[in-house]
Amino acid sequence: MRLRGRKGIREDLEQQRDLVVLDPREYKGRWAEAFGNGRPIHIELGMGKGQFISGMSVKYPEVNFIGMDMYDELIRRAGEKVRAIWREQGAERPENVRLALGNVESLEEFFAPGEVERIYLNFSDPWPKKKHWRRRLTHPRFLDKYRALLNERGEIHFKTDSRILFEFSLNSFAACGLQMSDISLSLHEGGVNEGHVMTEYESKFVGQGLPIYRCEVIVGEAALQRYHEHKLERF
């Protein structure tokens, strides 16, 4: 992806320290300090223009959200969206969301083991060519990174419009011995699923009548125990 950013964009982002983190390495192991509380931390990897992370931060004020992307311009656009949605709520500044500039390849440099409770992977690049499969964010080499960062309640929530990527991902989760839950081959079939905050891509694809594939991956021990307890209750 090539983005043409505004002139002086980095200088602008440097003035937004209440929201933007240009070097997430500075907060490794102390993100709770950055937020000023010990609430659970949920991160979205590859947040795009910020529709999902801004919507989630308003819907779940009891959670701290971090939206991460590697492009200055997307950080800028997401920042505008976050501030706008919080102004609609009557808040001067967003308290429970930060936007971090970083590459997923270096994720272990940004977060300490057990520091994260949930990871969102929304409409990641499907990298269709076989020679690029290692770049897919659900490849086992990335799953190993996620498992190291997630705490005992840790989960991965994954959405995509690519059936090829979805099938690949299910196989990756299974190969890594991860428990899957709430698998959907058409999340919004019969109408928009109001329980889910949508991304920009998701809104577009749903409007075109395309299926959205989704699943949750249970990683942490406490999360696994809760999953099995609920499974027994259902049956």
pLDDT, tens digit (0-9, with 9 covering 90-100), for 24-75: 999 999 999 999 999 999 999 999 999 999 999 999 999 999 999 999 999 9
Q: What positions carry a catalytic annotation?
A: 125
Cα 14 → chain centroid: 23
Q: DSSP label at 95?
A: S
**Would you say residue 3 lies in a domain?**
no
* pLDDT confidence of residue 50: 96
User: Does the residue 201 lie in any domain?
Assistant: yes
Question: Does residue 105 lie within any of the structural domains?
Answer: yes
Asked if residue 1 is part of any domain, the answer here is no
- Residue whose C-alpha is closest to residue 55's, from 155, 215, 199, 212: 199
pLDDT band at 181 (very low <50, low <70, confident <90, very high): very high
143 within some domain: yes
Q: Is 151 helix (H, G, I), strand (E, B) or coil?
A: strand
145-166 confidence digits (pLDDT tens) = 999 999 999 999 999 999 999 9
161 is an annotated ligand-binding site residue: yes
Within a domain: 186? yes
Give the residue numbers spanning the domain of 41.
9-231
Average pLDDT taken over every residue of the chain: 94
Instruction: For residue 202, say whether it is annotated as part of any ligand binding site.
Output: yes
Strands 213-218 and 179-184: antiparallel
- Name the domain count of the chain: 1
What is the pTM (predicted TM-score) of this model? Answer: 0.94
Is it the case that residue 23 has pLDDT exceeding 50?
Answer: yes
- In-domain check, residue 4: no
44 annotated as belonging to a binding site for a ligand: yes
CATH, residue 44: 3.40.50.150
Q: What is the pLDDT of residues 106-132, one digit of tens each?
A: 999 999 999 999 999 999 999 999 999
Q: For residue 215, with 0-12 CB atoms within 10 Å meaning exposed, 13-18 middle and 19 or more buried, which class applies?
A: buried
Is 106 among the domain residues? yes
